[in-house]
Amino acid sequence: MKNEHIFSPITLPNGVELKNRIMMAPMTTCSGFYDGSVTQDLIEYYRVRSGEIGTIIVECGFVDNKGLAFPGAIGLDSDDKIEGLAKIAKVIKEKGSKAIIQVYHGGRMVEPKLIGGQSPVGPSAIAAPRPGAATPVALTADEVDEMIDKFGQAVRRAIQAGFDGVEIHGANTYLIQQFYSPNSNQRNDKWGGNRDNRTRFPLAILDVTHNMVKQYATPEFIVGYRFSPEELEVPGIRFDDSMYLLEKLAEKGLDYIHFSMGTTLRPSIVDTQDPTPLIKKYVAMRSETLAKIPVVGVGNVVNQSDVEDAINNGYDLVAVGRACIAYPDWIDRIEKGEKLELFINSDKREELNIPEPLWHFSLVESLIRDVNLNVKKFKPGNYQEKVNDESYEFLINVELGNDFIKDIQLVNANNFDSEVLNNFTEIKHRIIDSNSPHVDAISGATTQCEAFKKAVTKAMAKSNKEAIIAEGGDPNDRAFDVVVVGSGGAGLSAAIQAHDLGANVIIIEQMSVIGGNTNKASAGMNAAETKFQKLKGIIDNKELFYKETMTGGKNKNNPELLRYFVENAPNAVNWLDANGIELSGITTTGGMSIDRTHRPESGAAVGGFLISGLVKNINKRNIEVMLDIAVTEIVTENHKVIGVKVSEEDGSTHLIKTKAVIIATGGFSANTTMVEKYRPDLKGFVTTNHKGATGSGIMLLEKLGAGTVDMGEIQIHPTVEQTTSYLISESIRGGGAILVSQKGQRFVNELDTRDNVSAEIIKLPEHYAYILFDQQVRDENRSVEEYVSNELVSQANTLEELAQKLSIDSKTLAKTVERYNQFVTAKHDEDFGRTTGMRHPIQKGPFYAIKIAPGVHHTMGGVTINTQTQVLDADKQVIQGVFAAGEVVGGVHGANRIGGNAVADIIIFGTQAGKKAADYIKH
């Protein structure tokens, strides 16, 4: 086969000429927006790969919102998608390639989490034969007709977006294949049963496609069909079944047929004794009608010889997949006679216009060759780890490649029920997809997930040490520009900022979990004069924010730090937004007169949302995080930092060399000895903090001579569930809840400062109260779902029933709520002067109550810093190379912290610490 033939034109049955025999295969990029619309990254991805190649087949577009089979899928499900899709079609065609888009529905292969927890649909209520697969809901006869129409409408949208054609996706076990498969289709109506009935759905999709082409396109519009030739399942599709269907499709008219296989010359996966490539069987078995339709081969095509082999065995066209990702100019290289290897250098993502989600998708990740010495290397192999959660011991095998996590297996899986196995499977996918153990835990199974993640972390650390030793190095001889101690919001944001300014950064965390106390934050992030306030018409100003924070802190706040805090809060909101963490929902908290508490638009608790977003940014930058390691000393020489001494989980100690240290270890609320030392009156109080909030960073810095301030200023939070130490978010009161005593009466302005509200609860004879709210507050605050799932909430359909459950006089409670509702209507609280968070009357059942009392929540005191986040000694002199941010620092909040100011504090001063540490090492 001569090179010229590969690049010669071919004419399709509809008369359209393709300029050469090469197509770019449709490949999942996972790079669409959450709603399936097109991103700029996707447009660029297709633009740079167009031009010399004859045809680009764009990844599959789902036909309805239950049809996406992978995250970041693009949609053909509504007319508002046409504009974005048109941009893809335009850039492909402008460069001179034909633009075709796949149309599909995932059917039973759709994971419920991708469609809001709903059940997927399929021809029959039979789950896919894979672990943890959801059982689909069988489509009714009417719904089958509607589904066919949805495919038709998707084709119309592809035409209106300007594509040259569509490829009907009847492969990869998606919905069209499911209707033809005797494994997934066990219906007894006209759509199922015998083989002829099972052909009806794919044939109907082809019919509706032709109808749309007649109505909206020209005869030159290309219609292709992709198929998977066999299924392993019994019963399942066999090759003669595929030939039977293809002959029927051919009679109706197609412009090409596309095999879907991992390699062009693959033999049967069912009859494993027969080595004959399926394409040869296809050529031998096809009729004259089918022989007139060009056939496309795909799979493992990298070099010209692969194309020639495919065409010599009977294919008319060849689709190139991963080689087009690695080499956007693949055809140019082949024409020049280059011999290509299938890999991508790890520093070439942006140059090759590969969207970030695709870069981390297994399709591409296995191609990446590390050229960055900062990226962690592994000694390939299997590493077995034993880990525990509260109930079980897990034996986990972690398989590692050179620089990626290859597989994770639960060795003792037989010991566990399906819920544990499903959790493991989900976490495994998250870890492998992101190539990092630092992924979101599953709600309701946090400790279990942390155990799974810890096994991977330990395996990676062990393997990394072995890799260094194998290269003749010392695994304990490590050096970084900046060491960040603590992995809460302050530490993560500091690490990201320092990295982005060119520093080589590592994060060291004494706990086995990333996130610190930030994980527990619930209300939001305060900032004034932000773009999100302006979008919602909220008029605010920084001066008012400054005054209210100073008043809340009883005028003990450090004025310079507070001024920096207030001035830079909007920039911090923007910094998060620029890094994919949008806090566009706005509410209020106690001590604030204006809605300035920024949170996720969904109403979700801010802490988990924030940490999840920051960790994704850490993973994206390959910033190393060491867990279960304590920093025991900051080592200096001639008054300059030279390293940190660390103690590992196994008791071993060593020095990590560094030029600068950022301490972001949080406060000391969980250190009862330390709390009682400074505040004996708080003996016996529960704490809302995680167990790592021990003040270790303060003690570390005090050894260096750091000064401290406000150590006795310890805030108690008024609404803490006492048996679990759960903090009930201030956003619940900010959303309209009230506090009532055991007598059923209000006793305080619920949105007064935390210290005042706490004091009023302590004054009650019973020393506790109830936070009371209705369904409307629950609807607007997703954090309530966590309280409900943890059984902290009493619930009733009426106030009278709720009063009975709480042993409160029902008439008194009814009068209290009625009086409060009148205040809401009048926008004036005659009893306690409440002015904020009076959003709507408490009247929409069901009604809810949570029993609460104060708990130790925040330590306002800590080490002294300046606005550059440099740590100061007892004489207010700078300790060179040492920076601090977050709750480890004192002075920002004075004698009382306003709700929502802690999250602002960690981002404002965290990013400043990252910037100043990076500046320091440069100069």
Task: Kindly list the catalytic residues.
Answer: 754
Peptide bond into 267 cis (omega under 30): no
Helices 195-216, 239-252: axis angle to 10 degrees equals 30
The DSSP-derived string for 10-60 is EE-TTSPEESSSEEEPP-----S-TTSPPPHHHHHHHHHH-SSSSEEEEEE
Distance CA 772, CA 774 (A): 7
The dihedrals phi and psi of 60, each to the nearest 5 degrees, come to -65, 140
Distance CA 225, CA 837 (A): 57
The helix, strand and coil proportions of the chain, stated in percent and rounded to the nearest 5, come to 35, 20, 45
Distance CA 495, CA 917 (A): 10
Distance CA 696, CA 859 (A): 13
Beta strand spans in 340-428 (E): 344-345, 368-369, 381-388, 393-400, 405-410
How far is it between the farthest Cα atoms of the chain? Answer: 94
237: nearest Cα among 199, 297, 183:
183
656: nearest Cα among 637, 631, 622:
631
Distance CA 674, CA 838 (A): 38
Distance CA 643, CA 480 (A): 9
Close Cβ partners of 412 (under 8 Å, ≥ 6 residues apart) = 393, 394, 395
Distances (CA, A) of 278 to 184, 275, 294, 308: 23, 9, 16, 17
Distance CA 244, CA 195 (A): 9
Distances (CA, A) of 668 to 290, 509, 557, 729, 748: 75, 16, 19, 20, 29
682: nearest Cα among 886, 857, 887:
857
